[in-house]
Structure 1
Amino acid sequence: MNAQIQHLYDIARKPERRIIGLMSGTSLDGLDVALCRISGNGPDTSVILEAFATVPYTDELKADIRLIFAKDQISFEHLCLLNSYIGRLHGRMILDCLQTWGVQPTTIDCVASHGQTVYHAPKSQHRKEMFPNATLQIGDGDHIAAVTGIITFSDFRQKHVAHGGEGAPLAVYGDYFMFSDPNENRILLNMGGIANFTYLPAGGDATNVFTTDTGPGNTLLDAYARQFLNKPYDEDGLLAASGNVNNALLQAMKTNPFFESPFPKTTGPEVFNTDYVNDAQDRSETQALSNADLMATLVQFSAETIVDAISRTIQEKGVRRSADPQTYRIYTSGGGVHNPVLIRMLQTLLPNCTFGRTNELGINGDAKEAVLFAVLANESLTGGRTSFGEREGVPSVTMGKVSFPK
């Protein structure tokens, strides 16, 4: 047997594994690095977050990624170069984090890399009958493994697509394994560039859970913060708080087939971008809005589309709990939790729900997405026995391609 395959086999047989989960989202803030100690699998998965860091991307790297990010026409040479470069960069970032934490690379069992999404194209979006769902993440796993000397799982979304899913959101798998509760109806709301939530009804039946995108989270807010403030985001929502919501523009932005599509569904900045807003302003004749009013309206847009999706799910599913039949607790994570204007809007629009943060469940909300991919790698190593039912969009699969260091 090849020695590297033997090593993989030995890792799978261990009672617990140290796995580094990596996540870089559509906001392009940087690389989230989560060092996890994981035992068990499936619903018996136990995760301890040993260390976490977000390693920021330089302005130059962000600019390089934006040259190909969510664009119909790009330089294929630039795409090819970034695929290798980002893989090696992520590898060096891992080693730097381990050095800072005083952890030897030889004590890490594997790396689980999400990669950097550059294009997401579900069939509902591209509408080309002969082509399936598709998505593309770069930052090649072989380069990460070669730089770190650690077995690397990567390219998780492709198996999901291959079995009829849209390749996103994948949070349903990790959220179900880590956060289901027999006595509480839970919604795990992640507000990154695109917002999504995982529906976890009390009782823990895997065939009832799902994850779906709701539309924009921070992607439009951050795009206009760069334009209006020359900052990566509207800190504390101050610009939005100083403006007034324009209802005509809000309704124009909410006019999109995506919002009426059945769950689960996915989208991305390929649809929701500044061109989308410009078109809505043309249709609603609101081109002269002040910066503050536009930002206030964009926050309201994110909040209402999140709430519409959650309310629709609660109504459609009709899950009941004897002690308090109307209560759902929403646990928030992602960059949106740091925007108090957005959080206040959600709480106002969902008065029958209670709110908390994922931190209450034992996982740092900022680390949650990186931890998710560590859990997916663990499931590929030791699990794969949980069935999510025969439902479109939620295939019962294990994910991640293996890259050996040599």
Structure 2
Amino acid sequence: MQRLAQLAQQPSRRIIGLMSGTSLDGLDVALCHLHGHGLATRLELEHFATVPYDEETRRRIRQVFAREQVSLEYLTLLHAWLGRFHAELVLGCLREWQVAPAEVDLLASHGQTVYHAPAHQHQHPDFPGLNATLQLGDADHMAVGTGIITLSDFRQKHIAAGGEGAPLAAYGDYLLLGSSTEERLLLNLGGIANFTYLPRTGPDATAAFSTDTGPGNTLLDAVVRQHFFHLAYDEDGLLAAAGAVHAGLLAELLAHPFFGAPLPRTTGPELFGTVYLQAAQAHTGTTQLSVEDLLATLVELSAAGVAQAARQALGEQPALAVYLSGGGAHNPALRAALQRHLPACCFATTADLGVLPDAKEAILFALLANEAVAGQPISIGTGRQCVPAVRMGKISLPD
């Protein structure tokens, strides 16, 4: 505890942020040097790596990923195993970077989301109105394994304070990427797409908010894996670019109530998984659609979901700067579809703001840990769109 008090008083802290998303491609590891806190935060990314998961690791996670019923024994064992596994990956990165664990102040672990259950999505009769989410990778195992004080389970406090546990990007986006001269949309194209809207308001956070918009890469990757066993995703969007959008299937996919729900809204692969896609194909008689046409339609779905949420929040013709991050930022077919749907917007990546797009989410959790230890809770947004003023993250000590 004395060490935590000391860290809170330091002018800067070295924090490793960890992120493993719903795409299950690997663990993002970002070693950050953070100076100050709150709106005075300055962040330097010292090192970054994505350590890819091998097929066995992905197989283990998929045993419980987005499934309503799983083996409780397997879930329990996986929680401990992932904590140890992530600790090993962190130590491997530190060795490669020639940084001793003792030189790192904090480890900020998002964990591996295996089930996200906002109330609007599960509607379980035993738990009406209850938001819940579950991330695996026990932080005590990580703290002991690395010798570094570990903060984890960030989403639970957000839920306890009245949120849905996602998206959390508003905190980091507001503190690091806001502008007094430019209206911005920070669009993360992960397995699920989400954006943070940042108006030109300087220190005024009342209009900023984050929301999920629907599937990003999750369905695209699932279709590729189903049809091409040697591929994990559609590299450079080449398969999708070779196909044609099926208007009937797209309309059926967009008819889901999620796309008309009030903002902000959250979701996950529990909703936008293969069952959702197969039902839409069966209803529209498109089960024999070519892989290329199916991927082209799913790219259009991802872009249409983003555009619909943007118009819902900002009017019919939103015109602002959009900065991309996440795996979808590397997909030219998806970027082209976004430009068609939001023609008045200017598109770039967060690299233009000094933040490596692939590292952005891992950086976010390093920042949340910094705020938990040294900052003060701030509220972002108002009304339904308010992000509650809470410190997020449970603390696990290494001894």
Give the TM-score taking structure 1 as reference length: 0.95
Structure 2 partner of 1:397:
390
C-alpha contact (below 8 Å) 2:115/2:135 kept by paired residues? yes
Q: Indicate the residue corresponding to 1:78 in structure 2.
A: 74
Q: Show the counterpart of 2:273.
A: 273
- The answer to whether the aligner puts 1:56 opposite 2:52 as a matched pair is yes
Counterpart CA distance in 1 for 2:110 and 2:245 is 36
| CA-to-aligned-CA distance 1:184-217 (integer Å, 9 cap, x gap) | 0000000000000000001132121111000000
The secondary structure found in structure 2 opposite 1:47 is: strand
Map 1:135-150 to 2 at 5 A.
Answer: 135-150=133-148
Distance 1:227 1:124 in 2: 29
What is the match of residue 314 of structure 2? 314
Q: Which structure 1 segments of 5+ residues have no match? A: 319-325
Larger mean CA deviation between 383-392 and 209-218 belongs to 383-392
Matched, 1:375 2:367: yes
Residue pair 2:378, 2:388 contacting (<8 A) in 1 also: no
Retained in 1: the 8 A contact 2:120–2:129? no
1:349 CA drift (Å): 1.6
Paired AA for residue 359 in structure 1: A
Tell me how large the CA RMSD over aligned residues is: 1.3
The runs of at least 4 aligned residues of structure 1 exceeding 6 Å deviation read none
Partner of 2:212: 213
What does the per-residue CA deviation read over 1:114-169, in whole Å, with 9 as the maximum and x for residues that have no partner? 00000000001012353510000000110100000000000000000001100000
Which letter maps to 1:28? L
Q: Secondary structure at the match of 2:329?
A: helix
Amino acid at match of 1:234: D
| Corresponding residue for residue 340 of structure 2 | 348
2:152–2:394: 8 Å Cα contact kept in structure 1? yes
Give SS of 1:73's match. Answer: coil
Task: Report the equivalent of 2:245.
Answer: 245
Deviation string 1:234-288 (CA, Å, 9 cap, x unpaired) is 1111111111110000000011111111111100000001111110011112122
1:111 aligns with 2:107: yes
How many angstroms apart in 2 are the aligned matches of 1:12 and 1:404?
15
The alignment status of 1:43 with 2:39, answered yes or no, reads: yes
Structure 2: which amino acid aligns with 1:398? R
Instruction: State whether structure 2 residue 192 is matched by structure 1 residue 194.
Output: yes
CA distance in 1, matches of 2:380, 2:321: 22
Percent of pairs identical after alignment? 56
Return the letter of the residue paired with 2:167: P
Retained in 1: the 8 A contact 2:117–2:133?
Answer: yes
TM-aligned CA deviation for residue 389 of structure 1? 5.2
Residues 365-395 of structure 1 deviation map (CA, whole Å, 9 limit, x = unaligned): 0000000000000001111242325534521
Find the aligned partners of 1:288 and 1:17 in 2 and give their Cα distance: 55
Q: Equivalences for 1:224-243 in 2 at 5 Å?
A: 224-230=223-229, 231-243=231-243
Rounded to whole Å, the distance in 2 between the matches of 1:138 and 1:289 is 36
Q: Where does residue 93 of structure 1 map in the other structure?
A: 89
Q: Map residues 250-265 of structure 1 onto 2, 5 A cutoff.
A: 250-265=250-265
Aligned length: 394
Aligned position for 1:286: 286
Contact 2:151 2:395 (C-alpha < 8 Å) held by counterparts:
yes
Secondary structure class of the residue paired with 1:367: helix
Relative to 1, partners in 2 of residues 1:151 and 1:341: Cα closer, same or farther, differing over 3 Å?
same
Q: Is the 2:109–2:150 contact (alpha carbons within 8 Å) kept by the matching residues of 1?
A: yes
Which residue, out of 28, 31, 47, partners 1:32? 28
Provide the TM-score with structure 2 as the length reference: 0.97
**Structure 1 counterpart SS, 2:49:** strand
Structure 2: 5+ residue stretches without partners: none
